[in-house]
Amino acid sequence: MARRSTKKADVTAQTAITRFDEANVGRLGLISIQERIPDNFTSWHVDFFVEGRPAQLSCESLPKYGGVPHGLDGDIANAIILIYHEHGSPADGVIRTTPYQLLKRAGLDASGRYYKSLKLSLLRLRTSTYFASEAWREHPRGNWTTVTFNYLEGLEFTTQSDEQDLSSGSAILIRLAKPIVKSIRAEYVKPLDIDFLTSLTRPLTRALYRLLDARRYNPLHPSEVAFEYSVNVSDWGEACKIVDQRPNKIRATLQGAHEDLIERGYLKSADYTGRGKKQVISYVFARPVDAELMRPVIPAVQCLLDQGISLKAAWRYVDEFGEERVLSRFERFNRLMARGYQANSRSGLLVDIIRDDAGKYNDDGASPLPRQPTPERKASQMPTLLDLPDQALSLEERVERAMKTIQFLMRDRLSTREYAILRACLIVGQPDADFAAATVSAAKANNSLDQVADELLNYIQHYKPA
């Protein structure tokens, strides 16, 4: 059995989970961190201990799909869990999505470059079988159980070419593994900084970050996070599912990712002690120095984050100008962009609109672009979804951005099914995506979300697919 020596110390509580990873998936490291592996690397087996008891974890895969899940498969698997959560964590584990949505949630280029890689990732996640013996936490009961599963229990997709490749027009149906679904619905999860994760450029760095971050959390009390973690190098190579298990090869594989995470301020240090197979690697995690990192994200902050403004800066603007002003100015920003204004920097324009006290962006005053004629209405009357601006941006990008804003602000006012139909409505421009998002943002500021929810439901009820 593999040797395992860990040290966890200086524990603090983590709160306000806004994005998360299922704790078993994160801790066990089901996907090899290596970006490339030999096609004949079709299985792995790890022995370890859980609370002093022996446990095992193994994976069997098919060579025709490129071996065990690895590299970008971790990004896709993480995106699936995020989308599953956004869909309301349905009990049957089924989500309906598109290649574009999966790639965007994974932080990958959705223009077409990764469509072939996405298909292979999904097939590996569907066909690879995992066996976890006394290693899977059934958290509500406090037990360690044995489970066998495929990460995806079901996979269906449509194609639009003779080659059967995925494309922007494909539809994907996924059924997530029952053990993962059960854990998520039981809220056995750990926080995940998705913005930091997707900002990391190397797949191996992202994979090591996910595994390291999961190991920081106490599996018995997943709200507790440690700032130190030590592990035997050979054991760590097995946990990372590195092909060549020689200590010097493990160190070489991890070196670049260590440098990235130290440079980005996630790790304070990654030091080795000892020699040969007795080497131990000790991680010291950097402490969050900004109180903003621990504050629950509110709608006004989320609107700023969606436009590429950092978390620290977003909180500074909300604290300085107030949530109501930020939301109302965000609505104004959306109307400008929907009318076709070409900004050198979207985030820069939004900040300028928030700061503006001279009235240059007022709807009834000067504006940086010509006004489009709109129906007259009283100043106190909030805009309706019938007031559609000219379309200016890529349809997929506009719909994705609008749905993210609408779902974040509307929460459970619409059901999962209603959100899915609303997405279809936005795709055909009934209502326009940008203006729908702006209207919902304005409703949040005016405390009239229920009124807008009724209007959205009216569109949904009268929607007839072509």
Phi and psi torsions of 168, nearest 5°:
-60, -25
pLDDT at 393: 55
DSSP string, 406-445: HHHHHGGGS-HHHHHHHHHHHHTTSS-HHHHHHHHHHHHH
Phi and psi torsions of 344, nearest 5°:
-65, -35
Give CA separation, 454 vs 385, 410, 437, in Å: 11, 11, 15
Give the Cα separation of 106 and 80 in Å (integer).
8
- Any idea which residue has 């679904």 for tokens? 181
Q: Tell me the per-residue pLDDT of 204-240, one tens digit each, with 9 for 90 and over.
A: 999 999 999 999 999 988 778 899 999 999 999 999 9
DSSP string, 60-74: E--GGGTSSSBTHHH
pLDDT at 394: 67
Angle at the Cα of 346 from the Cα atoms of 433 and 348, rounded to 5 degrees? 145
pLDDT at 293: 54
Task: Give the count of alpha carbons within 13 A of 114, CB side only.
Answer: 22
CB-based contacts of 213, cutoff 8 Å, min separation 6: 21, 26, 190, 192, 193
Give the Cα separation of 434 and 421 in Å (integer).
17
The DSSP 8-state label assigned to residue 153 in this structure reads E
Please compute Rg for the chain using Cα positions. 24
Contact 96, 173 (CB under 8 A): yes
Give the Cα separation of 186 and 146 in Å (integer).
17
Note down pLDDT in tens along the chain; length 466 residues.
343 334 434 444 333 334 678 999 999 999 999 999 998 999 999 999 998 899 999 999 999 999 999 999 999 999 999 899 888 889 999 999 999 889 988 988 877 778 889 999 999 999 999 999 999 999 888 899 999 999 999 999 987 665 677 887 789 999 999 999 999 999 898 888 887 888 888 899 999 999 999 999 999 887 788 999 999 999 999 999 999 999 999 999 999 999 999 988 899 999 999 988 899 999 999 876 544 555 566 888 888 888 878 777 788 888 889 988 999 899 888 888 877 777 767 777 888 899 888 777 765 433 443 333 333 444 334 444 434 343 445 677 778 888 888 888 887 788 777 787 888 778 777 777 777 887 788 777 777 787 778 777 766 766 655 4
- Any idea which residue has 């997929």 for tokens? 396
CB-based contacts of 88, cutoff 8 Å, min separation 6: 415, 416
Strand partners, 46: 57
pLDDT at 42: 96
- Any idea which residue has 């729908």 for tokens? 436
How do strand 172-176 and strand 152-157 relate by DSSP bridges? antiparallel
Give the Cα separation of 99 and 109 in Å (integer).
11
Q: Which pairs with CB-CB distance under 8 Å and at least 24 residues apart come from 11-15?
A: 11/218, 11/224, 11/225, 11/226, 11/227, 12/224, 12/225, 12/227, 13/223, 13/224, 13/225, 14/190, 14/191, 14/217, 14/223, 14/224, 14/225, 15/223, 15/294, 15/296
CB-based contacts of 453, cutoff 8 Å, min separation 6: 410, 413, 414
Give CA separation, 146 vs 28, 134, 138, 180, 241, in Å: 13, 5, 10, 13, 20
Give the Cα separation of 213 and 210 in Å (integer).
5
Phi and psi torsions of 232, nearest 5°:
-60, 135
pLDDT at 306: 81
Confirm whether pTM is higher than 0.85: no
CB-based contacts of 356, cutoff 8 Å, min separation 6: 329
Q: Which of 325, 336, 290, 334 is nearest to 311 (CA)?
A: 290
Q: Work out the end-to-end distance of the chain between its first and last CA atoms, rounded to an integer number of angstroms.
A: 60
How do strand 53-60 and strand 129-138 relate by DSSP bridges? antiparallel
The DSSP 8-state label assigned to residue 107 in this structure reads T
